[in-house]
Structure 1
Amino acid sequence: MQPLKGIKVLDFSTLLPGPLATLLLAEAGAEIIKVERPGRGDEMRSYTPRFGADSVNFALLNRGKRSITIDLKSPQALEQLTPLIQETDIVVEQFRPGVMDRLGLGYEQLSSLNPGIIYCSITGYGQSGPKARAAAHDLNYIAETGLLGLSAGADGAPILPPALIADIAGGAYPAIMNILLALRTRDQSGDGCHLDISMADGMFTFMYWALGEAQATNHWPRPGDELVTGGSPRYQVYRTSDNRFVAAAPLEQKFWENFCQLIDLPAEYRDDENHEAEVKKAVAEKIAQAPASYWSECFAGQDVCCSVVATLAEAIEGPHFQHRKLFQYSISSDTGQSINALPVPVAPGFREVPRKTGYPGLGENNER
């Protein structure tokens, strides 16, 4: 028995945070009914590259769900949705604050129809506060919380991260955690609740060390100067002779000593305290003398916490992740094309989904 078997979810969300959250619920057995606007549906359907009739982004995030279309601005929308609302356990939405209330689909309206409903609102800045209704994206959330400001390239400018940190780690994942907590609370009390998930709020957790240092020492961490922002030779990216890179993280003394021995670092540079810049330069010169393949073999099986920076293609084909069977599930399109499903952090024992699953066509479950 999957842990969420029998749980029904009405998903009004689009793009990434909400759909990823409901994907995880689906993988654990929940029934997800995606509510979309007629004609166009979720904005993500229109993205490229294509995968059948829709985008590959949409396919990855909406595997195994169902889709209905309804004009939420219609006076009949609430009446049409009422039978579903009365049997729904969870609602997920990510409109700006107040929008669902104006549509007659806010928490107060729905909880009057179903007191046990768990209503999860995912927004950029939360349901209250001066910026609650401001338009923004992932980059804005990490910029305004100070997270982006702690990264810096060679010219001192912040570096664009390749991951949508706020959408996933500040939106989808906290939504899942709180939905599961709310389900547990409902088991005890019978009552539903309204969850206010702010993507920006969630970013401060990632800077626990910076917040702690600032408050304990009155020193505000700076990009390029701290242990994990580039200030230490023990947590650094070094260029190899063939223009690839080594990610070196021998933080603890035992790992550092092993690392220094393996790269044959001169004795005068092995004590890095108070002269980190000189040591970084010396280590960089050593790493630059050999290609990535040499360092990969050199570090293999050694306690040094060092890796050659892999491409995504190399990582997927790597023996470790192949062994872990991260890509054992697949998605099929309406044209018969098949790709690997998105690996999600749901334990295999909770997932009894078919190895190959499709994604919903727009409104394909309206009649059902």
Structure 2
Amino acid sequence: MSLPLEGIKVLDLSRLLPGGFCTLLLADMGAEVVKVEDPKGGDYIRWMPPFINKESAYFLALNRNKKSIKLNLRSKMGKEVFLKLSREYDVILEGFRPGVVNKLGISYEEIKRVNPKIIYCSLSGFGQDGPYRERVGHDINYIGIGGILSITGEKGGPPVIPGVQIADIGGGMLAAIAILASLVSKERGEYIDVSMLDGVISWLVLVAGKYFADGKIPQRGEMQLSGELLGYNVYPTKDGKSISLGALEPKFWQNFCQSIKREDLIDKQFAEGEEKEKILKELKTLFQSKTQDEWGEFFKDKEVCSEPVNDLPSVFSHPQVKQRQMLFEIDHPTEGPIKQIGLPIKFSSAIKHGQDQKAGQSPGVKEVRKNPPPGFGEHTEEILKSIGYSQEEIEKIEREES
């Protein structure tokens, strides 16, 4: 198996989800990722419930294919080791509040003195400048100040917190994209400033585009793609589940209307006001007449852009999800087999070709890296030896770091 980032070495100083998701992507794509963890506790997510036996389920989900080293960056010895490590690595990711790495003496300016080609990415809530640069925050705050909470929810209802941490995950993805872009020209080195708030605002591209055009403040449940359109909505079904309808283009709306024998609605796709509310009530009644599975079978071959609203067991048993290998298992030395979400990017170089592939299948089995998440400081000795420290020196470092 060959992956595109093989040979790239990353030092990960981040904690929790944003940086962890970034380096998960990099590690899955072949990079050697080393988590640099404080000896007094390491990555906070290690200790967050729920636990699988003794390991955090969240830590296990985010940290496969990574290594871990214990290093006290506040100590003189820890800083010395980190600077020596930095000479041998291509990328550093940090997620501290702005100014912390300067106090520690491991800022980009310090690191580039020993490694001018280093790619150094700072991932923070509000960015490295501006009046909010040192403000504390979490995902809910970034999507709050960035406007996404204000437009998420039902008409007339309160803002609704999304089911996943979109600012955190999106920030991690943006950091990964920026690192990959910098690797293309890594001979010159780079400092990268990624703000999760900036990411949130960038996702308003369509919503803001409309606002800039008509000056109308978007309202929850009243935007085209979040409740305004009859053909782009979620409808409850007879069994208490729901169906998503995405009949956005006229041809799909026409197919939908014809399939339910309501050709009279074909020219009502963009109905407004009382007319829309009347039709919406009729459609809700219609969808309540069948179960989710019955609607799935009914629309199966009709090209109306309709799919079930799945819970997680249904997601992971879905044939498309299985075919794309978006769920797999890793053998953990203490926790046994642990389920993992797959890499959402497929590389031809990581496909093991076989024979007699069925129509519609990928050309082979997608191979993935399956190294279990690291124990706390598991690779400290290995990594220190790799940069020239003797066993005696390592023992001295560990004594001073404890």
TM-score range (shorter-chain normalised) is over 0.9
| 1:237–1:247 CA contact under 8 A, matched in 2 | yes
Q: Partner residue of 1:193? A: 190
TM value normalised by structure 2: 0.86
Distance in 1, Cα, partners of 2:87 & 2:21:
24
| 1:107–1:194 CA contact under 8 A, matched in 2 | yes
| 1:66–1:360 CA contact under 8 A, matched in 2 | yes
- Per-residue Cα deviation, 1:31-57 (whole angstroms, up to 9, x for no partner): 111100113111010012223432121
Shifted more, 14-23 versus 269-278: the winner is 269-278
| 1:48–1:56 CA contact under 8 A, matched in 2 | yes
Q: Partner residue of 1:239? A: 236
Q: Partner residue of 1:357? A: 371
| 1:28–1:350 CA contact under 8 A, matched in 2 | no
| 2:259–2:302 CA contact under 8 A, matched in 1 | no
Unaligned runs of 5+ in 2: 352-366, 383-402
Shifted more, 265-274 versus 357-366: the winner is 265-274
**Partner-residue secondary structure (3-state), 1:33:** strand
Distance in 1, Cα, partners of 2:369 & 2:144:
39
Distance in 2, Cα, partners of 1:364 & 1:140:
34
Shifted more, 330-339 versus 156-165: the winner is 330-339
> RMSD of the alignment, in Å?
1.8
| 2:119–2:182 CA contact under 8 A, matched in 1 | yes
Matches within 5 A, 1:23-42: 23-42=24-43
The offset of 1:235, in angstroms, is 1.0
**Partner-residue secondary structure (3-state), 1:16:** helix
Q: Partner residue of 1:312? A: 312
Matches within 5 A, 1:62-141: 62-141=63-142
Distance in 1, Cα, partners of 2:228 & 2:195:
31
Distance in 2, Cα, partners of 1:336 & 1:174:
32
Distance in 1, Cα, partners of 2:117 & 2:132:
30
Distance in 1, Cα, partners of 2:146 & 2:330:
36
Q: Given the alignment, which residue of 201, 205, 215 partners 2:202? A: 205
Matches within 5 A, 1:164-313: 164-169=165-170, 171-186=171-186, 190-265=187-262, 267=264, 271-272=268-269, 273-274=271-272, 275-313=275-313
Q: Partner residue of 2:354? A: none
Distance in 2, Cα, partners of 1:356 & 1:125:
34
**Partner-residue secondary structure (3-state), 2:16:** coil
- Per-residue Cα deviation, 1:237-293 (whole angstroms, up to 9, x for no partner): 111122111111111111111111222337268524333222212211111122222
| 1:52–1:333 CA contact under 8 A, matched in 2 | no
**Partner-residue secondary structure (3-state), 1:41:** coil
Return the letter of the residue paired with 1:331.
Answer: I
Distance in 1, Cα, partners of 2:13 & 2:52:
22
TM value normalised by structure 1: 0.94
Q: Partner residue of 1:50? A: 51
The offset of 1:205, in angstroms, is 2.4
Moved over 3 A (4+): 348-356
- Per-residue Cα deviation, 1:6-38 (whole angstroms, up to 9, x for no partner): 111111011111111111111121111110011
Distance in 2, Cα, partners of 1:129 & 1:107:
19
The offset of 1:336, in angstroms, is 4.4
Shifted more, 93-102 versus 256-265: the winner is 256-265
Shifted more, 355-364 versus 128-137: the winner is 355-364
**Partner-residue secondary structure (3-state), 2:27:** helix
Percent identity reads: 36
Distance in 2, Cα, partners of 1:147 & 1:122:
20
Distance in 1, Cα, partners of 2:345 & 2:13:
22
**Partner-residue secondary structure (3-state), 2:268:** coil
Distance in 2, Cα, partners of 1:224 & 1:27:
38
Q: Relative to structure 1, is the Cα distance of residues 307 and 160 closer, same or farther in structure 2, using a 3 angstrom cutoff?
A: same
* Count, aligned residues: 363
Shifted more, 91-100 versus 310-319: the winner is 310-319
Distance in 1, Cα, partners of 2:349 & 2:73:
34
Q: Partner residue of 1:325? A: 325
Distance in 1, Cα, partners of 2:50 & 2:332:
13
